[in-house]
A and B are shown apart, each in its own frame.
Chain A
Amino acid sequence: MTVAQADSPALASLAAGAQFQRKPRTYWSMALQTLRRDVVTVVALGFLLIMAILSLLAPVVSGGIGVGPNDTNPENAFQQPYLGPYIQWRLGQDPITAADMLGKSGGVVHWLGTDQLGRDQFVRILYGGRISLGIAFAAAALTLIFGVSVGTIAGFFGGVVDDAIMWFINTLISIPGIYLLIIVTAIFKPNPVTLTLFLGLLGWFGTARLIRGNVFKVRELDFVLAAHSVGARTIRIMLQHVIPNALPIIIVNAAIDIGVLILVESALSFLGLGVQPPTATWGSMLKRANNFLFLRDPETGAYVALHLLIGPGLLITLTVLALYLIGDGLRDALDPMMKNIR
């Protein structure tokens, strides 16, 4: 605008016109605007938010249904989901099945059916979500803390420090994490807190490498030099200039990391090495479902346990997919270069 003003008075008067005056926008408000236009990411964010809220409200929901996550009812094992018969009943097609199921369960509505001990699947999924999502988010936070601090130190100081740290990271990263995790979790049967610690402590190598690369780029920039020249201390430069510049990378990395951690937790639970029963997690519910997959009703010959797999399986899929899409959308939104393309 200033250029235009300098060039010609006509242009200057045009630029001063109200329709060309735009409020100055910050980086974050621009990112938010891009994000708002991205339907897929918004839907994914919404889904994740709903899952998180439902999981947090699990005690309320379970109180409303009238059954706890570990309440057993052996009389009513492997009940099919109530959802289908309920809809049929409401549509007036089949009034018998729904009432029959309600009678069997003693008036409790098992929306997603029950498992081999007659525990309510829906309530267990919500409680499982608390553990699975909680572990994944907390472990991702740990990963970030370790990864960002080690990566920043390695990238900022360079030289011998960087060589030593990178050698350490490259050695550990070449051992597949799942092997280490399996050994560690087999030895110390973990509870949610220790499992979070293991996942966080064994998962930060990749993040550190990513951050280090970015710090290398940033520390050569002029504003860092300027900060040095006015005598800013190293720690201040790191916190004030280097880390904020890596923030987009950190955020995108975190979103995808959480999805990966959910899957790792499920994999460990699936092997029986995660959080121990009877605490429900999505992974341990999958394992249970897989054990009973072959089970048939002795009279009708129909498989009775398939619904146990579908619930947690779909939820893990959707959650991980949502996190992946959010990471993708954030990458677009937080990349200033993309603004020119749109």
Chain B
Amino acid sequence: MTETALPLQPGVKTEEKTKAPSALVRVAQYSLVRLIALFATVVVGVYLTIMIANMGGYVDEMRKGFIREQVAIGVGLDPALKEMTSAERQNHIDKLISLQEKRMGLDQPFLIRSFRYLSDALTLNLGRADNMASDSGSRQVRLIILERLPPTLLLFATAQFSLFFLAIFAALALSRNYGSLLDRIIIALAPTSAAPSWFYGLFLILIFAAMLGLLPFGGLVDAPPPDSIIDYSLSVLKHLILPVSAIVVSAVFLSIYSWRTFFLIYSSEDYVEMARAKGLSSRAIERRYILRPTLPTIVTGFALSIITLWTGSIVLEAVFNWPGLGRLFYQATNIFETSVIVGSTVIYAYLLGITVFFLDIVYALIDPRVRVGGNQGGRV
């Protein structure tokens, strides 16, 4: 913190210029170390998921049993094999089973397979689902997930952006009118954020869908889907209102409250008083003296809220029947569809890792106080 005073001293500028290339190297070094650390975390997380989702190998026993049953039924129904003696038939069945197990890679011990699953997952080679299919009928896990990704992104991007900007602007307005009636009302409402979004979703459905009949209960579009693109998007918009408001309502008051407090702290700094004394307009003060030093925190808040709300999506999507990734994950766990569970976990882990990585970089870029690489060894 004390180093922040340095740039004000004369003669520092020239020193900074000569240091520039090494700073770049430092940023690169720092990014690399962060990247490796994050990747290690992703690997461990995915491997844990693989172990749990396979129940430590038990799912494969289930798959083997399923193969045995299928083969036995197939052989029993095949008229060409009716002539065989029971020993011959047993032999034939065993051969088919071992062939099928080898084809699915089940003949190796689970520990070895788990590492193969891990490398497949990390290279996004997600394989095929046994019991699930995409709406277009494909069994490719990649296609199943890709089909569910757009609705999730649509819902959470909309909710996230509206929540974030609403909270920031409302907080700025409140910090200007500190102590007003509206200010006190918002603060009193802050504990409403104790309940999660799906919970508000239930009540919003109860009020606006069941009691008032204004909006649909859930789903992505009307059934049957409208033909024209305009009608289709209008229908999607109509279905989007309730889930988005559930997310916004569940978080908005607390986030307005915390941003407002945060802005208030910064608006009582000496340099803000100075700017006021100079007679600058309140807009200019806000833009140059309050928003600028708080920018890193605002960016962090934005990235963190994306991560948080991603987590809450499973139950919210279940409540609103939203055909997104969260519900896919939930459906997959119910039928032990390991490939889909691992697939969506990997996607999630990568998204999370990338978000955190970019956050680190952006943080280092926009906040001059973060002295990148000053502490050697990648410890931040």
Interface residues in chain A, defined as those with a beta carbon under 8 Å from any beta carbon in chain B = 170-171, 174-176, 178-180, 182-184, 186-187, 259, 263, 266-267, 270-273, 286, 290, 293-294, 303, 306, 309-310, 313, 316-317, 320-321, 323-325, 328
Contact = CB atoms under 8 A, between A and B. Distances in A.
B202 A178 contact: no
23 contacts: A171-B41, A171-B44, A175-B49, A176-B311, A178-B312, A179-B49, A179-B311, A186-B336, A187-B55, A259-B194, A263-B195, A266-B199, A267-B315, A270-B198, A270-B315, A270-B318, A294-B210, A294-B217, A303-B211, A306-B206, A310-B206, A316-B195, A317-B199
A309 B318 contact: no
A320 B210 CA distance: 25
Contacts of B318: 270-271
B293 interface: no
A186 B45 CA distance: 19
A320 B195 contact: yes
A182 B199 contact: no
A183 B333 contact: yes
Given A171-B41, A271-B315, A320 B194 contact: yes
Q: Taking each of B41, B202, B336, which has the highest tally of chain A beta carbons within 10 Å of its own beta carbon?
A: B202
Contacts of A317: 195, 199
Nearest to B55: A187
A259 to B, nearest CB: 6
Contact of B53 (A183, A310, A328): A183
B352 interface: yes
Given A174-B352, A325-B191, A313 B203 contact: yes
Contacts of A266: 199
B41 A170 contact: yes
B333 A186 contact: yes
B311 A271 contact: no
Contact of B345 (A178, A179, A325): A179
Contact of B191 (A310, A313, A321): A321
Contact of A267 (B53, B196, B205): B196
A182 B314 contact: yes
A328 B193 CA distance: 13
Size category of the B interface is 35 or more
B330 interface: yes
A69 B217 CA distance: 30
Contacts of A184: 52
A317 B192 CA distance: 9
A290 B194 CA distance: 21
A290 B198 CA distance: 12
Interface in B235-273: none
B354 interface: no
Nearest to A317: B195
A183 B191 CA distance: 30
SS class of chain B's interface: helix, strand, loop or mixed? helix
Given A263-B196, A306-B210, 5 more contacts: A174-B45, A187-B52, A271-B314, A272-B334, A313-B199
Contacts of B349: 175
Contact of B199 (A170, A180, A263, A306): A263
A293 B205 contact: yes
List 5 A-B pairs, minimum CB-CB distance, nearest first: A176-B311, A324-B194, A186-B333, A267-B315, A175-B45
Nearest to A328: B191
B329 interface: yes
Interface string B299-316: 000000000001110110
A123 to B, nearest CB: 22
Contacts, number: 97
A310 B352 CA distance: 36
A186 B337 CA distance: 11
A183 B341 contact: yes
A290 B352 contact: no
Interface string B32-66: 00000000010011001100110100000000000
B192 to A, nearest CB: 8
Contacts of A310: 206
Contacts of A176: 310-311
Contacts of A171: 41, 44-45
A272 B327 CA distance: 13
A309 to B, nearest CB: 6
Contacts of B149: none
Contacts of A324: 191, 194
Contact of A293 (B44, B48, B52, B206): B206
Interface in B192-243: 192, 194-196, 198-199, 202-203, 205-206, 209-211, 217
Contacts of B329: 179, 182
Interface in B328-366: 329-330, 333-334, 336, 341, 345, 348-349, 352
Contacts of A294: 210, 217
B285 interface: no
A313 B45 contact: no
Contacts of A175: 45, 48-49, 349
A46 to B, nearest CB: 17
A270 B330 CA distance: 12
A286 B202 contact: yes
Contacts of B45: 171, 174-175
A272 B335 CA distance: 13
B319 interface: yes
A321 B195 contact: yes
B191 A290 contact: no
Interface in B153-181: none
Contact of B49 (A183, A263, A320): A183
Nearest to B353: A174
B191 to A, nearest CB: 5
A293 B53 contact: no
A313 B202 contact: yes
A3 to B, nearest CB: 34
Nearest to B48: A175
A274 to B, nearest CB: 12
A310 B312 CA distance: 22
B54 to A, nearest CB: 10
A313 B348 CA distance: 30
A182 B195 CA distance: 19
A325 B189 CA distance: 12
A15 to B, nearest CB: 38
A290 B202 contact: yes
Contacts of A267: 196, 198, 315
A212 to B, nearest CB: 16
